[in-house]
Structure 1
Amino acid sequence: MAALLGACVPAASQAASPQAGPDSASALVAAMRAGRLAPDSLVRRYRARIARTDAGPDGLHAILALNPDAVAQAAALARMRRVRGPLYGLPIMVKDNIETRDPLPTTAGSLALLGNVTHRDAPVIARLRAAGAIVLGKGNLSEWANFRSAHASSGWSAVGGLTRNPYDRARTACGSSAGSAVAVAAGLAAAAIGTETNGSVTCPAAVNGIVGLKPTVGLVSRTFVVPISASQDTPGPMTRTVRDAALLLGVMAGSDPADPATAQADRHRADYLAGLTPDALRGRRIGVLRFAQGKNPELRAVFDAALARLRAQGATLVEIGEFDRKSLGDAELTVLLSEFRTGVNVYLAQTPPAVKTRDLTALIAFDVAHADREMPSFEQDIFEESDKAPALSDPAYLTARATARRLAGAEGIDAMLAHDRLDALVAPTTGPAWLTDLVLGDRPGDGTGAGTLAAVAGYPHLSVPMGRVRGLPVGLSFIGTAWSEPALLAMGYAYEQAMAGGQGLTPQQFPPDGRSPGRPANRSGN
């Protein structure tokens, strides 16, 4: 089976068609279900790839820990010959703010949670495992899902160091699900699970050239996921292709009695693979969010080419010029600060006795006591603000929450869709990856992207590879109203296939060590 898994290179290095890659999750599952590939053999190949490319001073640092039982679990699955679930034998990487029953801590990247070994699966992981997936390991992340400091650098954690972008190691991997995205892009896992509060699935997907889906809040359980915001948090799949994302979402979606937000999930679950046809854009009306296209002329040119491709596939495009995002951002921050303190206090209070930090106040004190390792480059200003934020019963919080939802939902996405009878909205997901700066922190640029609208409204957001700016991947966002995942995935799939058919996804061969051709490894930083 040497053809399967190939060299485990980033997604863009495969054949022009995203569906043609032999190492897509769908292709790997088909091979294992047919008996052409053994699950334990596949796990060993990924582990070997990780050993070659992830660790050491020049490594990608996408992986925090490998599951020591993954090979044995895969071999046991193979012996159960009558069990062939939809994800049979699929090795996945899990962001390290999601609990798994494996003998690994769930750290959120913080030294304070090194003792957080719970020996339990979050319900979303239990669903994936029941479908045949193998937890290969835990992915690095921006510490505390990038909610510790306004001056943080994406992809850095005290536990794992700095995750590097495989297209240019001097540049950001973006968002808090950085390790999950890089694991998929660099061929270290067949797929990954990330989490998003605002941009943490879609931004790393875009800058690492993969597919990322932030589902409707309430479609996927958040139980036993280290929280930021009950209003906005959700796990989501990160994959090589839209088909793979649809495959994983079909398993992940569903209600959970412990998470009240998922009360409607079973009613809205769908066969997400059923609508994936190359002509799914024909007759669709799509709003173009010009206010979110940014000022980079090269990115705008790539976006214009994407719009032309949408038109060529039969979509009608409607220009949408302006939207005031400042008021939305102010209200969102108030909500996140209050919800984080409440949520993290509940979570910490229920951790194993080995975890000594039992609330946010203690966590702040821990970081001060371990400042040399926890705060070598940035502080914890967001933690400190959150510790003083209004309670969830406070009118200031309640007003901010109502305002944020109204601006993003009823007066934002829903109003845009209704005004012009649109099926979805599109915009660049973000700009090309910026240079990592551990002194000044993230510098994402000029307001490119409309992900905050979907994040605050709790609506789905799909990012699909759109093209490249000077060799760096950029993504195209498809945004819709609540529970519109089937339509977004169908449109994203049709766009993906049109990109492939028109050679829009230029193959790029990555060397075996995962380093981008023509770009030296970055030897500075963590």
Structure 2
Amino acid sequence: MKKILFLVIFAAFAYSCQQRESPVIFKRYDETTKLKEQQNHESNRMQFKLMQSKYIDMNTVFKPFVDDLAYFSEKEYQELKPLVLEQNIPSLQKSVQEGALSYEKLTLFYLYRIRKFESDSTLSLNSIIALNPNVLKEAREKDQQKENISEFSMFGMPILLKDNINTKENPTTAGAAVLQRNFTESDAFIVSKLKENGAIILGKVNLSEWAYFFCSGCPLGYSAIGGQTLNPYGRGVFETGGSSAGSGVAVASNFAVAAVGTETSGSITSPSSQNSVVGLKPTISVLSRTGIVPISSTLDTPGPMTKNVIDNAIFMNAMLGFDKKDTASKEIKEDYYKNGFKNDLKDKKVGVLKSLLSDSIYAFSVDKLKKAGVEVVELTPPEISFNGFITLLNMDMKHDLPVYLSENAEKSILVKNVKDVVAFNKKDSLLKAPYGQQLFEGIVKDSTTLEELEVIKKNLNSEGKRFLQSLQEQNLDAILSINNYHSGIAAVALYPTLTVPMGYKTSGEPVSLTFIGLPFSERKLLEIGYAFEQLTKVRKMPKNYQ
């Protein structure tokens, strides 16, 4: 009997050993040749000085998951791909409710997929900065609570955060060396709302350092902490867009269900466009900014970045809430997906910019909209002045960053303002600021008074509204732009924008259609965006990440 028991135990042990996958080791690679090739790129911003992070060891990032991933096989990963890749939230929730998928398996799938690509030196995208060490525990807890979950819920959905958004599970670095150990005591307000609605924080993604208001003419998607984020549609060929580069890249590559980006001027629309994903920059005051490393309290907002419009609306609902700590916050009663979206464009009226009709993809899209019944009005907006825009950002950040550092950062962080950060970086600039910190130095030098700043803000707001005046004058549902071409104008006007994949250049570089609407018209933009998405269905996965 003892012998039989021993054999059974031995057989079980042997079986378990056979099932255990070999550990994946992240190895630093020699990037000399690749960097030399990059110096021939036609864009100065793409002539990288480095690619790999000098601060992150991905073996450490993945250490909490080594045992769990050891029993998640390549075979299982391949079997789950049809259930997960490119699927929207309702489809994922349906698979969970039917038992074909679990929140734990979904989370394991993303962890495995991130490791699979990021450990390959020929495919790594440097989009991930940190992973929540508790994420699998949280996913298992969600599996115990999955009864009666709506298909239109963020419950159990693993999402990624741009690394300027506070979450207690990981430090919030803004990509900067000085904030490497910024372990905050509390979550950003929107993160608290996401958790209340059952979303799982998978981790943090890379960004253009300090949300791309740091160095002048430097690569988009570069940060000291995360290294150089790369575009999956053309690794080292196409720009990632910025500053929410990691958010766009991670969503495009199916590294999570969705990601949160932030925008001051184009930082959601740009990377969404460059990575063929859906990005919404809401009206200022719709989503809270508390607990987010700022540039400008005048223009900053977080927003959802997703693979499709339905997910974008569901994601928006999960972040919504009045925040008394954010002076701009408003009580918004909107449900961005209630009763679904109509796949109908016949009663819509949009403005088309004549200056963009020379773009063949834009013109083709406009023609498709016309044939679908959309009333199209060709526009030639007035010339406007953008004087003072950099001053606005300078002075807002000069005043807003110290507030974040005082109220929302880890108490041991020694820097208290922009001037302190500049001094910190000068001690080892090759490591901390290899492309310089010209914009931060400009902030320090700017002596604009608060009274002068208010005049600049009012003038810019007035000019932005003047450019977009046809929205009201001609009762348009939206004005159509390309990528982030007019994001700055929409920003200073305080108008929302929605970017939806529109097509691909002959080179394979993604191009998107951007809908600009009046304040608080997010639901309308999402409805139009959904109908356009269903009409065209152009989004495709990057071919090396399928």
Per the TM superposition, whether the score is higher than 0.5 is yes
Q: Distance in 1 between matches of 2:98 and 2:155?
A: 10
Among 491, 509, 516, which residue is 1:472 paired with?
509
State the match for 2:530 in structure 1: 493
* 1:314 aligned onto 2:369: no
Is the contact between residue 166 and residue 188 of structure 2 (CA under 8 Å) also seen in structure 1?
A: yes
CA, structure 1 residues 353+4, in 2 after alignment: closer, same or farther (shift >3 Å)? same
Among 269, 279, 295, which residue is 1:212 paired with?
279
SS of corresponding position for 1:286: strand
* 1:176 aligned onto 2:234: no
Letter in 2 for 1:78: D
State the match for 1:42 in structure 2: 106
Map 1:418-433; keep pairs closer than 5 Å.
418-430=472-484
Q: Distance in 2 between matches of 1:416 and 1:509?
A: 37
Among 189, 208, 212, which residue is 1:142 paired with?
208
Is the contact between residue 247 and residue 272 of structure 1 (CA under 8 Å) also seen in structure 2?
A: yes
SS of corresponding position for 2:82: coil
CA, structure 1 residues 319+183, in 2 after alignment: closer, same or farther (shift >3 Å)? same
Among 373, 386, 404, which residue is 2:431 paired with?
373
Letter in 2 for 1:394: L
Map 1:230-379; keep pairs closer than 5 Å.
230-263=297-330, 265-267=331-333, 269-274=334-339, 276-279=341-344, 281-291=345-355, 293=356, 300-325=359-384, 327-328=385-386, 330-350=387-407, 351-376=409-434, 378-379=435-436
* Total equivalences in the alignment: 464
State the match for 2:543 in structure 1: 510
Q: Distance in 1 between matches of 2:83 and 2:440?
A: 42
Q: Distance in 2 between matches of 1:5 and 1:246?
A: 24
Letter in 2 for 1:510: K
Is the contact between residue 390 and residue 397 of structure 1 (CA under 8 Å) also seen in structure 2?
A: no
State the match for 1:405 in structure 2: 461
Letter in 2 for 1:6: P
Is the contact between residue 83 and residue 92 of structure 2 (CA under 8 Å) also seen in structure 1?
A: no
State the match for 1:64 in structure 2: 129
Is the contact between residue 249 and residue 272 of structure 1 (CA under 8 Å) also seen in structure 2?
A: no
Q: Distance in 2 between matches of 1:416 and 1:167?
A: 35
SS of corresponding position for 1:302: helix
Is the contact between residue 467 and residue 474 of structure 1 (CA under 8 Å) also seen in structure 2?
A: yes
Is the contact between residue 39 and residue 75 of structure 1 (CA under 8 Å) also seen in structure 2?
A: yes
Task: Give per-residue Cα distances to partners, 1:18-42, cap 9 Å, x unaligned.
Answer: xxx4x22332133224443211111
Of structures 1 and 2, the larger Rg is shown by 2
State the match for 1:451 in structure 2: 487
* CA drift at 1:253: 2.0
Q: Distance in 2 between matches of 1:454 and 1:275?
A: 27
CA, structure 1 residues 6+390, in 2 after alignment: closer, same or farther (shift >3 Å)? farther
Among 184, 200, 218, which residue is 1:118 paired with?
184
Q: Distance in 2 between matches of 1:119 and 1:30?
A: 35
* CA drift at 1:390: 4.1
* 1:6 aligned onto 2:82: yes
* 1:52 aligned onto 2:116: yes
CA, structure 1 residues 277+7, in 2 after alignment: closer, same or farther (shift >3 Å)? closer
Letter in 2 for 1:207: Q
CA, structure 1 residues 304+464, in 2 after alignment: closer, same or farther (shift >3 Å)? same
% identical aligned pairs: 35
CA, structure 1 residues 33+226, in 2 after alignment: closer, same or farther (shift >3 Å)? farther
CA, structure 1 residues 508+147, in 2 after alignment: closer, same or farther (shift >3 Å)? closer
SS of corresponding position for 2:388: helix
Among 186, 192, 201, which residue is 2:259 paired with?
192
* CA drift at 1:275: 5.2
* CA drift at 1:360: 1.2
Letter in 1 for 2:337: Y
Q: Distance in 2 between matches of 1:139 and 1:366?
A: 24
State the match for 2:18 in structure 1: none
Task: Give per-residue Cα distances to partners, 1:264-313, cap 9 Å, x unaligned.
Answer: x324x23434351110x21211011234x28xx6xx11001100111122
Task: Give per-residue Cα distances to partners, 1:113-139, cap 9 Å, x unaligned.
Answer: 012101421110111111111111101
Task: Give per-residue Cα distances to partners, 1:396-437, cap 9 Å, x unaligned.
Answer: 21110110111112x232x2112222111001114xxxxxxx
State the match for 2:295 in structure 1: 228
SS of corresponding position for 2:332: helix
Q: Distance in 2 between matches of 1:55 and 1:7?
A: 24
CA, structure 1 residues 34+100, in 2 after alignment: closer, same or farther (shift >3 Å)? farther
Q: Distance in 2 between matches of 1:220 and 1:363?
A: 28
* CA drift at 1:208: 0.5
Q: Distance in 1 between matches of 2:148 and 2:174?
A: 33
Is the contact between residue 213 and residue 236 of structure 1 (CA under 8 Å) also seen in structure 2?
A: yes
Q: Distance in 2 between matches of 1:148 and 1:203?
A: 17
Q: Relative contact order (alpha carbons < 8 A, sep ≥ 6): 1 or 2 greater?
A: 1
Letter in 2 for 1:429: N
Is the contact between residue 55 and residue 61 of structure 1 (CA under 8 Å) also seen in structure 2?
A: no
TM-score by length of 1: 0.84
SS of corresponding position for 1:491: helix
* 1:77 aligned onto 2:142: yes
TM-score by length of 2: 0.81
State the match for 2:7 in structure 1: none
State the match for 1:519 in structure 2: none
Q: Distance in 2 between matches of 1:271 and 1:375?
A: 41
